[in-house]
Amino acid sequence: MAIAVTDEDASAVTAPEAVNLLSHFSIEVTPRTAAKVADFRALLPAGTRVYVAHIDGTSIDDMVTTAGRLTAEGFAPMPHIPARGIADVSTLDTWLRRYREEAGVEQALLLGGGYARPAGDLDSVMSMLKTGLFDRYGFKRLHVAGHPEGNRDIDRDGGTLNVGAALRSKLQYAQRTDAKMAVVTQFAFDAKPVIAWAERIFFDGIDLPIHLGIAGPTKLQTLIKFAISCGVGPSLSILQKRALDFRKLLVPFEPTDLVNEIEAYCATHPQSRIEQCHVFPLGGITASAAWANVRAQNSLTAGS
């Protein structure tokens, strides 16, 4: 006997499960920015992963102090470790020991570093991983950078050959060790190149979790400046079109449309490795944290 299926039943069967990429967002600060924040507990949910950006010229003392403060306030600091900015293996050893012993750090974002020339023998993420120091000091989680729109510092022809090979090497390291690894992407403004990149690396066998980089609310002029300096390519056109609308110049840019589109994609593609957002607070950590908190709560309410 055939069983009749009502429209309501069909909807219940086929409706994709809602995805909330901001339910466990991460964010980043510099030591200089952190010094202006009275208490991070007033801005962020307990346990939030907070990347500590190591800008050229920042002392390791300031980095360790900031990481230690975040740990004490109940957060999970993830300092940037820029290979090309480290003098030698002994210096890397000292940094990692201090992060562990003085600040309770257990995770790090590993970067090649945007330096014209390496400060020493360490010139890439893999050169740092091969020292074995992260394993020795018990770093449990290691994140690496992803570039959905390419990186001309690595692939000068604008392609993705070298970037892809580097990601594959990092995946192989993760498979050989107990380290939990994820890819955090450069911020973008158009979902299409992000989705295409995520699908491409997945089909190439790179199945690391992806943390989608998004730019927090900020003035459009500021955002365009950062986008150009950071090498954001195809999706820059989204900002340029927005700049033609005078009304939109008067209000801060928010990444709402981008997040909506990526969440809709993830809902219909449950195999996607995009699992959460990482917020670049280009317009200030207070504004970015407020936006992310509201977005996370609204998504949770809508899904309840």
pLDDT, position 7: 52
pLDDT at 304 > cutoff 50: no
User: Per the domain annotation, does 85 fall within a domain?
Assistant: yes
Report the percentage of the chain scoring pLDDT > 70: 78
pLDDT at 139 > cutoff 90: yes
pLDDT, position 9: 52
Query: Into how many domains does the chain fold?
Result: 1
Query: Which domain CATH number covers 298?
Result: 3.20.20.220
Report the percentage of the chain scoring pLDDT > 90: 63
User: Per the domain annotation, does 114 fall within a domain?
Assistant: yes
User: Is 267:16 a contact under the CB 8 Å cutoff?
Assistant: yes
Range of the domain at 182: 20-303
The pLDDT tens digits for 164-217 are 778 889 999 999 888 899 999 988 888 998 999 999 999 989 999 999 999 999
Summary mean pLDDT of the chain: 85
Give the C-alpha distances (Å, rounded to integers) separating 110 from 36, 162, 182: 26, 17, 11
User: Per the domain annotation, does 13 fall within a domain?
Assistant: no
The pLDDT tens digits for 30-82 are 999 999 999 999 999 999 999 999 999 999 999 999 999 999 999 999 999 99
DSSP bridge pairs for 76: 49
Averaged pLDDT, 149-157: 56
* Alpha carbons 131 and 87: distance in angstroms, whole number: 14
Q: Using a cut of 0.75, tell me whether the model's pTM lies above it.
A: yes
User: Per the domain annotation, does 6 fall within a domain?
Assistant: no
Task: Tell which residue, 213, 5, 191, has the closest CA to residue 109.
Answer: 213
* Alpha carbons 132 and 62: distance in angstroms, whole number: 25
Read off the pLDDT band of 16 (50, 70, 90).
confident
What HEC string does 141-162 produce? EEEEEECCCCCCCCCCCCCCHH
* Range with the poorest average pLDDT among 116-120, 222-226, 239-243, 251-255: 239-243
The pLDDT tens digits for 258-302 are 999 999 999 999 999 999 999 999 889 999 999 999 999 875 444
Read off the pLDDT band of 219 (50, 70, 90).
confident
* Range with the poorest average pLDDT among 108-117, 177-186, 241-250, 271-280: 241-250
174 or 102: which carries more pLDDT confidence? 102
User: Per the domain annotation, does 296 fall within a domain?
Assistant: yes
Pairing type for strands 274-280 and 107-111 reads unpaired
User: Per the domain annotation, does 132 fall within a domain?
Assistant: yes
User: Per the domain annotation, does 4 fall within a domain?
Assistant: no
User: Per the domain annotation, does 122 fall within a domain?
Assistant: yes
Read off the pLDDT band of 154 (50, 70, 90).
low
Burial 20-34 (b: 16+ CB within 10 A, else e): bbbeebbbbbbbebb
pLDDT, position 25: 97
Averaged pLDDT, 213-230: 73
